[in-house]
Amino acid sequence: MSRPPVAVVIGAGDATGGAIARRFAREGFTLCVTRRQADKLEPLVSDIAAAGGSAHAFGCDARSEEQMVALFSDIERDIGPIEVVVFNIGANVRFSITETTERVYRKVWEMAALSGFLTGREAAKAMLPRARGTIIFTGATASLRGGTGFSAFAGAKFALRALAQSMARELGPQGIHVAHPIIDGAIDTAFIRDNFPERYALKDQAGILDPEHIAEQYWQLHCQPRDCWTHELDLRPWMETF
If you average pLDDT over residues 183-211, what whole number do you get? 92
Mean pLDDT of 122-148: 97
Q: Which amino acid is at 1?
A: M
* Residue 86 contacts residue 10 (beta carbons within 8 Å): yes
Beta bridge partners of 133: 176
Q: What is the mean pLDDT of the chain?
A: 96
In one letter, which amino acid is 3? R
Instruction: Give the mean pLDDT of 115-128.
Output: 98
Q: For residue 99, what pLDDT is reported?
A: 94
Tell me if 151 sits within 8 A of 109, measured CB to CB: no
pLDDT of residue 202: 95
pLDDT band at 49 (very low <50, low <70, confident <90, very high): very high
Question: Residue 1 above 70 pLDDT?
Answer: no
Quickly state the pLDDT bin for 191 (edges 50, 70, 90).
confident
Q: What is the pLDDT of residue 181?
A: 98
